Amino acid sequence: MEIRGRCWKFGDNIPTDKIVRTDMIFKPWSEILKHVLESCNPEFPAKVKPGDIVVAGKHFGQSSGRAIAAKAMKQTKVGCIIAESFARTFYRNGFEIGMPLLECPGITAQVSDGDILRVEIESGKIVNEKTGGEFEAKPTPPFLLDMLKAGGLIAMADRLAGEG
């Protein structure tokens, strides 16, 4: 699975409340998508394009475990999220809905907004086409790659339930 897209860079410790504001939770997607991460970068909701790549600092998606934060990121159609580290509930929720996530400590110092990045999810190889820099993300456990390929947890659990 290879993804190539423009980089949107964010800082450390971004809470789910900033990915989707609490007062937006019950709004339709069309409304939610106008506000995703807006307090971190007001341009993001309007200008993010399918296949773009979000790069964040430490502990992305902290705070509440609400799955809507990961879903909103998927709804923006970004190709993947690379972070120095993720909050554990966000990490679970991401794979659960089939959103590729990579952990790559030190990555935020190596990329800038607008750089074109090329990412190979299985191997974790990240290339910054602008600078030529190459980086290795932490390997993703094979069963999570299977979950991504199946389209998420429920698709996979369905299969497991069928076997049981």
Partner 1 sequence: MGKAFAEKVLARAAGLSDVRPGEIVDVYPDLYMSHMASWRCIRTLEKMGTDKLYDPERIAMVMDHISPARIAKTADDQRLCREFAVRKGINKFYDVEAGIAHVVLMEAGHIRPGMVVIGTDSHSTIYGALGALGTGVGFSEITAAWVTGKLWMKVPESIKVIIEGPLARGTSSKDVMLKLIGDLTADGATYCSVEFHGSYVERLSISDRMTLCNLAMELGAKNAFVRPDEITRSYLGERGVPPGQYTEIHPDPDPVYVKSVTIDGRSLVPQIACPHTVDNVKPIDQVAGTKVNQVFVGSCANAKYEDLVEAARILKGRKIAPGVRLLVSPASKEIVARTVKDGTYSILLEAGALITNPGCSACAGDGGVMADGEVTLSTANRNFQGRMGSYNAEIYLGSPAVAAATAVRGVITDPREFL
- The separation between CA 76 and the C-alpha centre of its own chain, rounded to angstroms, equals 10
Q: Are 151 and 93 in contact (CB under 8 A)?
A: no
Q: Does 154 contact partner 1 by CB under 8 A?
A: yes
Backbone angles phi, psi at 155, to 5 degrees: -60, -40
Q: 123: helix, coil or strand?
A: coil
Q: How far apart are CA 41 and CA 27, in angstroms?
A: 21
Q: Residue 68 and residue 46: Cα distance in Å, rounded?
A: 19
Residue 96 interacting with partner 1 (CB under 8 A): yes
Should residue 23 be labelled a site residue for partner 1 when binding is judged by CB under 8 A? yes
Query: Which CB atom, from 116 or from 144, has the smaller least distance to partner 1?
Result: 144
Q: How far is the CB of 58 from partner 1 (least distance, A)?
A: 5
Q: Is 9 in the site for partner 1 (CB under 8 A)?
A: no
Q: Report in angstroms how near the CB of residue 70 gets to partner 1 at its nearest.
A: 8
Segment contacting partner 1 by CB under 8 A, of 44-52, 55-63, 72-80, 115-123: 55-63
The answer to whether 34 and 42 are in contact (CB under 8 A) is no
Q: Which of 34, 47, 77, 88 binds partner 1 (CB under 8 A)?
A: 88
Q: Which is nearer to partner 1, 127 or 150 (CB)?
A: 150
Rounded to 10 deg, the angle between the 142-150 and 88-96 helix axes is 50
Q: Which of 76, 89, 108, 140 binds partner 1 (CB under 8 A)?
A: 89
Contacts of residue 155, defined as CB under 8 A and 6 or more positions apart, other chains included, come to: 98
The length of the chain is: 164
Give contact residues for partner 1 (rule: CB under 8 A): 12-13, 15, 17-18, 21-23, 26, 39, 58-59, 62-67, 70, 85, 87-89, 92-93, 96-97, 141, 143, 152-154, 157-158, 160-161, 164
